[in-house]
């Protein structure tokens, strides 16, 4: 009979699961910063309790149970994290004054690399791109926390109802009822958890190249042509959201601080399993962190842009706060 590993072995065994646990906590909270803190709390609780781990379940299952409990406890004192489209207000006219609400705990994007959503990552079932898409994370925020946990454990992690009931200290009937209600609400989200996220086809990669070129040259007319007719643009912490390619073009014309080609620089990143860009704004001889945008593409064009005006997000994405203008000039040559 093999002895159970000692407490000293805990990190060696548990650390490889850190990224998937971060993805789990992110799905529960909608915040990359909160998720990092809650994973740390999960590991601390697990390390303290490791002597009592009897091995009746796998270490992975045990860690997920602790992480879920940690998330639910944290969510007792926190409100949901919305996007502007989730506040219930109608779309806004581009000419209307911007209304900023920095006190709202807005939804945050997550870097693919932090949650193992890269194409070659082996932990596909728990770090798949489908399960961290921005629209899905936003929809999860509308569920009560326990329903959110039930749906994530059942439909993302593929736990059996009895396993979820044990983890949440409830009945199988309650789990099945909660899952039915959660699925009914998530059915309104497109794409769903079951829809695959294939690699971008060539025409969509060309769309992204054209998008970058239009932004960096400050060609609003070219940008408008790249959006679908019913495209949506939103930009927390501003509460307004804007629908329609022409309306988005007017919004950029009225409110974007850029005036000339070269005022903006877009750096490609990967967020929520979707194309994304870090936006830098030129100030003298330096590009400074400005915003981070996550795009949703459709066959006919760009369908949705969420532009996050929170430069605190640059650090989780491994991005510097400033870039020299010379760096841009060298890349162009």
- Cβ neighbours of 128 (radius 10 Å): 20
pTM over 0.85, yes/no: yes
Which one-letter DSSP state was computed for residue 309? Answer: -
- Interatomic CA distance for residues 305 and 101, integer angstroms: 19
Residues of the chain with pLDDT under 70: 1-8, 117-128, 189-197, 327-333
Q: What angle do CA 233, 304, 79 make, to 5 degrees?
A: 70
pLDDT of 125:
40
285-304 residue pLDDT tens: 999 999 999 999 998 999 99
Residues in contact with 301: Cβ distance below 8 Å, sequence separation at least 6, in sequence order:
207, 226, 227, 228, 231, 245
pLDDT of 181:
94
Q: Are 129 and 116 in contact (CB under 8 A)?
A: no
89-110 residue pLDDT tens: 888 899 899 999 999 999 999 9
DSSP-derived secondary structure for 223-262:
HHHHEEEEEEEE-TTB--EEESHHHHHHHHHHH----STT
205-227 residue pLDDT tens: 999 999 999 999 999 999 999 99
pLDDT of 211:
97
- As given in the structure block, the two tokens for residue 286 are 């330096």
- Cβ neighbours of 182 (radius 10 Å): 24
Q: Which domains does the chain have, with CATH numbers?
A: 7-189 (1.20.140.160), 202-324 (3.10.450.50)
**Nearest CA to 238 among 122, 133, 119, 87?**
87
What SS3 string covers 281-297? EEECCEEEEEEEEEEEE
- As given in the structure block, the two tokens for residue 15 are 């650390």
Residue with tokens 């091995």: 55
């Amino acid at each position: 009979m093999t002895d159970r590993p000692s407490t000293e072995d805990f990190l060696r065994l548990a650390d490889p699961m850190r990224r998937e646990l971060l993805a789990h906590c992110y799905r529960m909270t909608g915040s990359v910063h909160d998720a990092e803190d809650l994973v740390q709390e999960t590991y601390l609780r697990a390390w303290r309790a490791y002597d009592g781990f009897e091995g009746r379940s796998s270490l992975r299952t045990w860690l997920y149970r602790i992480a879920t409990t940690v998330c639910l406890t944290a969510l007792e004192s926190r409100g949901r994290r919305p996007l502007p489209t989730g506040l219930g207000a109608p779309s806004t006219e581009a000419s209307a004054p911007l209304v900023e609400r920095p006190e709202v705990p807005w939804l945050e994007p997550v870097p693919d690399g932090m949650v193992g959503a890269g194409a070659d990552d082996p932990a596909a079932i728990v770090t798949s791109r489908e399960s961290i898409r921005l629209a899905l994370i936003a929809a999860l925020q509308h569920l009560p926390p326990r329903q959110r946990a039930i749906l994530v454990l059942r439909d993302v992690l593929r736990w059996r109802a009895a396993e979820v009931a044990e983890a949440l200290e409830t009945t199988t009937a309650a789990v099945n009822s909660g899952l039915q209600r959660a699925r009914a609400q998530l059915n309104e989200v497109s794409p769903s958890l079951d829809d695959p996220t294939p690699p971008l086809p060539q025409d969509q990669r060309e769309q992204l190249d054209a998008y970058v070129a239009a932004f960096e040259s400050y060609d609003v007319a070219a940008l408008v042509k790249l959006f679908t007719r019913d495209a949506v643009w939103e930009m927390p912490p501003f509460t307004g959201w804007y629908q329609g390619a022409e309306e988005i073009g007017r919004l950029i014309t009225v409110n974007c601080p850029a005036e000339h080609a070269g005022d903006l620089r877009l750096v490609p990143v990967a967020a929520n399993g979707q194309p994304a860009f870090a936006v830098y704004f030129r100030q003298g001889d330096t590009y400074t962190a400005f915003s981070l945008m996550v795009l949703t593409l459709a066959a006919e064009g760009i369908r949705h842009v969420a532009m996050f005006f929170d430069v605190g997000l640059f650090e989780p994405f491994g991005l510097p706060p400033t870039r020299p203008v010379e760096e841009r000039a060298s890349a162009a040559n």
